[in-house]
Structure 1
Amino acid sequence: MYEDKNFLTIEDAHNMTEKENLRLFKKHISSQLGKTLSMLGFADSIPVEASGMYVTLRDGRKVLDMTGHLGMLVAGHNHPRIIEVRKKWAEEKRLESWKFFPSPYQGVLCNNLSLIFPEDLEVMFFCNSGAEANEGALKLAEKYSGMSRKTVVYTDISFHGKTHATLTLSGSEKHQNDHFNKTENCIMIKYGDIQDFKRVIEENKTGKNSTKIGTFIIEAIRSEGVVIPDKSYYEEVRRICDKYDIVLIMDEVFTGFGRTGKMFGFEHYGICPDICSFSKAFGGGKATFAGFITRPKIFNKAYSKMNEATLHSTTYNGFGEEVVSAIEVLNIIRDEKLLENSEEMGKYLLSRLQEVKKEFPDIVADVRGVGLLACIIFHSRAEKIVKFFSSTGTDLVEKFVTGSVITSMLKDYSILLNTPPHDSSQILITPSLIINREQVDYFIESLKKVLSENLWKVGFDYLKKLRS
């Protein structure tokens, strides 16, 4: 019977050993992911506190978080203002699910978002994740464009989510997509190549100013590898989309809310999308929150009729505590001048990364950055040595370098780093926008020590674990 089950408690989780924690993770979540986390040293000690730029581990280490936890932490871990508004909301027993009453809190959040987005982007929908935001954006664009223009264009380097539709449109996932059904009527083009975009327009024209293409979805700045198209590219994309009435969706899930030194990545190009999706930093690291915003003409054509008002909906459409968290996030970004800090510290971080590239040309192939979105791309002249050790090939060489760097930085210098999901030759650097010069300097000096002293021994230890 249910009453007889020996459930573990929250207190049990607090007191769990690292060994038991890893056992449960491997058994119930993913054995291979658990193995990877263990190899990198991430399972050696359990986090017990997080504040600002730091995560404190049970063994006493205070770890500098240079990941921003995949870009979610715009204002650091557990910002006191976000904690306070959430605590007050709970203590006052406010309504959490606003399903049957219009929410003044959603109204405030929508108003504030409309003020920071340009032009007439002012109608929005809230959901839970970037993938869900992109699904909703794609549905809106499809409904607006009509069944005669249902073709969607996307780019070869991109990631928009792992639902069926967003996975199809994620060019960087193309080598893994063979396992799943694809969404039809999708065309892939080269990222940042305006001639390739013009080519598919011409191939799908149905008249002088008409085409079967109804939607173009793209990341304003490709976060993985920090790929930044020329300004002229987006100016021409905007002109073509206007000419053929193609809905331009810009995915700002990773780059939104100050990550690139501007509120949104598309602002670097002086253009405005028709729909913009966002998530990650939107919840301030305390709420699983996302959404998309569009122009009234797009939304009204798609969903203005009474019987179409709920054609796109979700159960968790902006819970109260999520909404007040996001309201506070926007105010923190303004009050603490996090946009300005992202731009200033981003320039400083990139200048110091360029020092690393110059000092270690045999290991570091390139460094890139805009705002506090940066990456290090490695290469290795030890490829022949590694191939003697294993026949797995180039991907293993990349893991040799990045795996050893990540492991050493955590073990020896208490710095948390990660690679992006589609390129193991990179380390993605996306700290919270509150980072200061002292923290940047500590990161750079530690990285230099790792690249000069620890790389080979740790790298070969990593490879042995990988093959075991």
Structure 2
Amino acid sequence: MQTVQGYRFLTVEDADAMTEEENLRLFKKHIGQNLGKMLSMLGFADAIPVRAEGMHITLNDGREILDMTGHVGVLVAGHNHPRIIEARRKWGERRGLETWKFFPSPYQGALCHNLSLIFPEDLEIVFFCNSGAEANEGAMKLAQKYAGPERKMVAFTDISFHGKTHATLTVSGSEQHQNHHFNKLENCHMVKYGDFEALRELVESNLIRKGVSRVGTFIVEAIRTEGVVKPDSRYFQQVRQLCDQYDIALIFDEIYTGFGRTGKMFAFEHHGVSPDICSFSKAFGGGKATFAGFITRPSIYNKAYAKMNEATLHSTTYNGYGEEIVSSLEVLQIIQDERLVENSEEMGAYLLHRLEEVQREYSDLVAEVRGVGLLCCIKFKSKTEKLLRMISSTGSEAMEKFVTGAIITKLFQEHNILTFTPPHDSAQLLITPSLIIRKEHVDQFIEALKQVLGSSLWTVGFSYMKKLKG
């Protein structure tokens, strides 16, 4: 420890020397009791990661873990890609300006230029920030300012997640059951995902005058991440036409799906349409920078922020620090050089093929598998649910946790594979590995999953449920 003004601060070396018990105690005390309990239940608190490289995480007990989560889609190029580390090292050694608040940054300009090349049409004006929620906040503010005071209504979909700030929670349909705790934005209206008529009815039932609707914004995911829900492309073509007809700003949220996750650079490319505003994050920082942004058309941005005194109407302190910028410059180059979008398409098809094989072999436990690129999910059903209902008062969500929690734990503890379940559907595993994944990694995961599904989940499942209720 170090003593500074009477305080005994813990150091990196102190953290390195912590036992698993000390680590979990501090986590529960200072970060979250229930979150710590959840990680402990799944077995994730039994060891401490000491190294991460490519597709693997090394624990302090010597185990090498295959990461099939991509750490919630962040790791487009794997853990600690050497080129990103080298780019950041070179930048740090320059002792250059990090906070470009008072000078135009040539590095930001270069990154914006590169983004304008990979986005279609005239999407070319960029705002940088720190997280997906912040990107969506900025995108919605831009759309609202563009639409003007008469057209404040925002349309969003029933299955969606755009963040956990007040505004983004309001338009996150999948959070509706639990966001009653928080204040919501006014004038936000939910429609069914993939239902064009529901959107058209909302727009046209709120006409102010001919050709002008109170609906000024529609925020949507081109492919819904959880459950991998992909509407028919005609839906988004109709949406694009409707937005053009009524001058509605169409926002595509590509926080999770952007930069190759679905086998195309962006998920909206599957539908042959382009947004007016697009938010992005996660993979954009390459797992080394907490970086996000949104991109828009000049016609949208210049109308919204046309006056000199509106130049900073939307801003953030950490608007593209130098090290974040050079990280993302390198990320985009790696995606191109290593053909990661193409690999996502190829390996995603192979992963889905093998998941379908699992579904056929274990149809009593596997309800459904879906996949687009390396955005895949497997949904489980519980053959023991009827019995569990007879002996337990727990609800259906707990029944789902019994199965998925047991599978996640056995994959991790017995097969050294990291998987996760998304926050809004406990019955599924969301499988989003890094885009550098190879066939041998897919095969390792599938064979382990088969062994887990073919074994008894009772012991680990009841242990999980006991901890859940305790």
- State TM-score, norm by structure 1: 0.99
Instruction: Select 1:205's aligned residue among 196, 204, 207.
Output: 207
1:119 is aligned to 2:116: no
Q: In structure 2, what is the equivalent of residue 329 of structure 1?
A: 331
Q: In structure 1, what is the equivalent of residue 340 of structure 2?
A: 338
CA displacement at 1:208 relative to structure 2:
2.5
Bigger drift between 380-389 and 132-141 goes to 380-389
Instruction: Select 2:404's aligned residue among 396, 399, 402.
Output: 402
Q: In structure 1, what is the equivalent of residue 273 of structure 2?
A: 271
Superposition map of 1:219-230 within 5 A: 219-230=221-232
RMSD: 0.9
Matched-pair identity in %: 69
Bigger drift between 197-206 and 325-334 goes to 197-206
Superposition map of 1:406-425 within 5 A: 406-425=408-427
- Partners in 1 of 2:321 and 2:390 — Cα distance? 55
Letter in 1 for 2:19: T
1:408, 1:454 within 8 Å by CA — same for their partners in 2? no
Q: For residue 71 of structure 2, give the secondary structure of its aligned residue in structure 1.
A: helix
Q: For residue 147 of structure 1, give the secondary structure of its aligned residue in structure 2.
A: coil
Q: In structure 2, what is the equivalent of residue 192 of structure 1?
A: 194
Q: In structure 1, what is the equivalent of residue 363 of structure 2?
A: 361
- Partners in 2 of 1:242 and 1:217 — Cα distance? 14
CA displacement at 1:81 relative to structure 2:
0.2
- Partners in 2 of 1:94 and 1:348 — Cα distance? 45
Letter in 1 for 2:443: D
- Partners in 2 of 1:342 and 1:320 — Cα distance? 29
- Partners in 2 of 1:258 and 1:46 — Cα distance? 30
Q: Deviation per CA, 1:3-46, whole angstroms, max 9, x where unpaired? A: 11111111001111000000000011111110110010000000
- Partners in 2 of 1:177 and 1:38 — Cα distance? 26
Q: In structure 2, what is the equivalent of residue 171 of structure 1?
A: 173
Letter in 1 for 2:87: V
Q: In structure 2, what is the equivalent of residue 243 of structure 1?
A: 245
Bigger drift between 446-455 and 41-50 goes to 446-455
CA displacement at 1:454 relative to structure 2:
3.7
1:46, 1:57 within 8 Å by CA — same for their partners in 2? yes
1:215, 1:247 within 8 Å by CA — same for their partners in 2? yes
Superposition map of 1:265-304 within 5 A: 265-304=267-306
Q: In structure 2, what is the equivalent of residue 41 of structure 1?
A: 43
1:256, 1:263 within 8 Å by CA — same for their partners in 2? yes
Structure 2: tracts of 5 or more residues without a match: none
- Partners in 1 of 2:13 and 2:58 — Cα distance? 19
Q: In structure 1, what is the equivalent of residue 257 of structure 2?
A: 255
Instruction: Select 2:96's aligned residue among 94, 97, 100.
Output: 94
Q: In structure 1, what is the equivalent of residue 461 of structure 2?
A: 459
- Partners in 2 of 1:111 and 1:389 — Cα distance? 61
Structure 1: tracts of 5 or more residues without a match: none
Letter in 1 for 2:188: C
Q: For residue 45 of structure 1, give the secondary structure of its aligned residue in structure 2.
A: coil
Q: Deviation per CA, 1:293-333, whole angstroms, max 9, x where unpaired? A: 00000000011211000000000000000000000000000
Q: In structure 2, what is the equivalent of residue 51 of structure 1?
A: 53
1:139 is aligned to 2:141: yes
CA displacement at 1:2 relative to structure 2:
5.8
Q: For residue 252 of structure 2, give the secondary structure of its aligned residue in structure 1.
A: strand
Q: Deviation per CA, 1:28-81, whole angstroms, max 9, x where unpaired? A: 111111011001000000000000000000000000000000000000000000
Q: Deviation per CA, 1:337-388, whole angstroms, max 9, x where unpaired? A: 0011000000000000000111111111000000000001111121122223
Q: In structure 2, what is the equivalent of residue 232 of structure 1?
A: 234
CA displacement at 1:393 relative to structure 2:
1.6
Superposition map of 1:4-15 within 5 A: 4-15=6-17
- State TM-score, norm by structure 2: 0.99
